[in-house]
Structure 1
Amino acid sequence: MVCQLKELAVQLFDVGAVRLGDIEAKLGRRTPIYFDLRVVVSHPKIMMAIAQQLQILGSGIEYDILCGVPYAALPFAAVMSVNTNIPMIMKRKETKMYATKKILEGVFEKNQNCLVVEDVVTSGGSLLETVNTLRTEGLAVTHAVIVLEREQGGATVLSANGVQVKALFTMTELVKILRDAGRISEKTVEIVSDHIKECQFGMKDNFEQDTTPL
């Protein structure tokens, strides 16, 4: 599994899902590394590999249904659902204002265990917003599987709200893999490490959207 993850990290870099530079993030923040999994929808083999690795992460968790955080994680949740034959539901960005007026699309029952799928966790806000909606609709949520944990406080915020996060990569692990593969320099690793330490989020930030760039 370790070798597969290393190969996956390099593939993500090579297709542009990981980019470097002094990038403007949300709310005017700057970041030295950009992680955008939306491009993966154009690379089916990589999308399948991510879904399979997320399935492995979730193999020790009991769940009845899947839900991807909109929008970047939806393709991974869909592939996981097809691969495992476990039903999926979708959270809308906003409540449907006509007909059924649903916030969740799909079929589910109250008290089912829902595993949440996310691409990146930074402050934890986007994932927690989805978790709160699922809980309001009567589902039980205790775990989430994600691709990247940026180590900037989001996982701690989620844990404090009863959600344990399991990630394919931490930011530290990811940049070290890319350095060892010759994709980035040691200097870049140091810059990213410093950024992680300097840009930390807490409970007051947890409703900020995690969607990259950040």
Structure 2
Amino acid sequence: MQVCKLQELAVQLFDAGAVRLGDIEAKLGRRTPIYFDLRVVVSHPSIMMAIAQQLQILATEIEHDILCGVPYAALPFAAVMSVHANTPMIMKRKETKMYATKKILEGVFDKNQNCLVVEDVVTSGGSLLETVTTLRDEGLKVTHAVIVLDREQGGANVLSANGVQVKSLFTMTELVKILRDAGRISEETVEIVSDHIRECQFGMKDNLEQTAPL
């Protein structure tokens, strides 16, 4: 039953425009034949709910006291998970507030609480690792993250090397096979994406370059 629900969700994401095909410019000017944009899901409440429910299933296997979504795409999923599981949530700001409280984290938490991070997509792992670093700097324990898609380009390994285990709803390989079997994409597209995964792998060096100040 769980597999069927994930297959249905993958097709819904494609039909909603969250999966885009073509020669697309991604982060830092890199090119990709497939782009996963979960920001469109905020306009599809039923899909947003389905994603949050599936992420919550992963979360039940992980000990945690509090949730934090990586800004900005993952924030809606973390918020829905927080409400439905009655789990407190905090928010990381993109930058430290420059007035009043001057906080980098919004919400109430205690040092040494276990914080589960929620993310949409992991490619190099840079964005998620940046959030993890901030949370740890503020005294929280972070050992796990639940994500929607692992692009299988090395990010999960980078995060593991930094003490963060990633659990995903889909890997890119699984996603494209589901979409092919559902008649949404061709076998040729599956092969192009598979080649891209093999050819474009990220490691610690790439991760440090992405998280370094500009």
Range into which the TM-score falls when normalised by the shorter chain = over 0.9
Aligned twin of 2:73: 72
CA contact (8 A) 1:128 1:207 kept: no
Shift of residue 27, structure 1, vs aligned partner? 2.3
SS in 2 for 1:60: coil
SS in 1 for 2:166: strand
Aligned twin of 1:106: 107
- Any stretches of 5+ residues in structure 2 without a counterpart? none
Shift of residue 208, structure 1, vs aligned partner? 5.9
- Any stretches of 5+ residues in structure 1 without a counterpart? none
CA displacement 1:161-204 (0-9 Å, x = unmatched): 00000000000000000000000000000000000000000001
Provide the C-alpha distance between the structure 2 equivalents of 1:35 and 1:208, rounded to a whole number of angstroms.
Answer: 22
CA contact (8 A) 1:125 1:209 kept: yes
Letter in 2 for 1:181: A
Q: Structure 1 residue runs of 4+, over 6 Å off?
A: none
Aligned twin of 1:171: 172
Provide the C-alpha distance between the structure 2 equivalents of 1:148 and 1:157, rounded to a whole number of angstroms.
Answer: 15
Provide the C-alpha distance between the structure 2 equivalents of 1:161 and 1:9, rounded to a whole number of angstroms.
Answer: 29
Letter in 2 for 1:31: T
Aligned twin of 1:92: 93
Aligned twin of 1:22: 23
CA displacement 1:29-48 (0-9 Å, x = unmatched): 11000100000000000000
Shift of residue 87, structure 1, vs aligned partner? 0.2
Provide the C-alpha distance between the structure 1 equivalents of 2:27 and 2:84, rounded to a whole number of angstroms.
Answer: 34
Provide the C-alpha distance between the structure 2 equivalents of 1:161 and 1:209, rounded to a whole number of angstroms.
Answer: 15
Number of aligned residues: 210
CA displacement 1:63-105 (0-9 Å, x = unmatched): 0000000000000000000000000000000000000000000
Report the TM-score, using the length of structure 1 for normalisation. 0.96
Provide the C-alpha distance between the structure 1 equivalents of 2:65 and 2:137, rounded to a whole number of angstroms.
Answer: 17
What's the RMSD between the two structures over aligned residues?
1.0
Higher relative contact order, chain-length normalized (CA < 8 Å, sep 6+): 1
Provide the C-alpha distance between the structure 2 equivalents of 1:191 and 1:41, rounded to a whole number of angstroms.
Answer: 29
Q: CA 1:105–1:208 in 2, change beyond 3 Å: closer, same or farther?
A: farther
SS in 1 for 2:112: coil
Provide the C-alpha distance between the structure 2 equivalents of 1:208 and 1:148, rounded to a whole number of angstroms.
Answer: 22
